[in-house]
A and B are shown apart, each in its own frame.
Chain A
Amino acid sequence: MKLTVVEGLQSEIYVPITPPPVFTPFTKELKDCTVALVSAAGIHMKSQKPFNLAGDFTFREIPGDTPSSELMVTHGGYDNTDVNRDINCMFPIDRLRELAKEGFIKAAAPVHIGFMGGGGNVKKFQEETGPQIAEVLKREGVDVAVLTAG
């Protein structure tokens, strides 16, 4: 059967394209790693500017010593009920500190990152926001980033 009916015809429906692989081998031991949280779940400090629900490619730096009670969510793309009850179910900052105390990891990072995924300007996210976040994590000596999204 011939599948092409008209040469050069393109679909009007955009389909997502999986980006090329990025894979950094993990060479350290967990007990020697500084771990940061990076979440697309719209997490920020109550004192910081909330995200724009219509689409927002900015991110917030959350100092490592921020009490979980000082965090909140601004994200219109998922049901916020659970995360409003306990921020740790999307941004496990208390659990991470406990793992550091236990010695499972070396330390919780001096800074964590919150942004609002689920759409917006994907090109900006890819070309600006993502690299900027990576720079912050490098600056702060982070070995591992644990992400919550999707």
Chain B
Amino acid sequence: MLIAALPPVAKQQGSPRIVAPMVPMGANVGEPNNKVMQTAILKDALKALETIDTYGKVIPLPYEYKAKI
């Protein structure tokens, strides 16, 4: 199971199972020190194992973190 910040790239590279929260590269599992968000992303990524039944599916996850650049 891949937690991707760039899901189109992940799909093109052949990842069989992808979840995609709305996060920047470098914080794929969510905002730093945000335990609630990180736990939710990791849990949903694992739960998606039970629902994804074909290769190359991308499941969007409803969590958003925007890095301040």
Contact = CB atoms under 8 A, between A and B. Distances in A.
Q: Do A and B come from the same complex? A: yes
Interface of A: 16, 18-24, 26, 30, 35, 41, 78-83, 85-86, 88-92, 95-96, 98-99, 104-105, 144-150
21 contacts: A16-B12, A22-B55, A23-B55, A24-B16, A30-B50, A41-B26, A78-B25, A79-B25, A80-B26, A82-B27, A82-B32, A83-B27, A83-B32, A86-B32, A92-B41, A98-B39, A99-B43, A146-B1, A146-B2, A147-B3, A150-B13
A16 B15 CA distance: 14
B38 A95 contact: yes
A88 B69 contact: no
Contacts of B10: 149-150
A86 B2 contact: no
A19 B14 contact: yes
A61 B54 CA distance: 30
A73 to B, nearest CB: 9
Interface in B36-64: 38-39, 41-43, 45-47, 49-50, 52, 54-56
Contacts of A82: 24, 26-27, 31-32, 67
Given A23-B16, A99-B39, A105-B46, 7 more contacts: A16-B13, A85-B32, A89-B32, A98-B39, A147-B1, A148-B3, A150-B9
A16 B22 CA distance: 25
Given A86-B33, A88-B29, A146 B47 contact: no
B26 A83 contact: yes
Contacts, number: 118
A91 B27 CA distance: 9
B6 A26 contact: no
A144 B46 CA distance: 9
A23 B49 CA distance: 11
A137 to B, nearest CB: 13
Given A23-B54, A89-B31, A30 B1 contact: no
Contacts of A86: 32-33
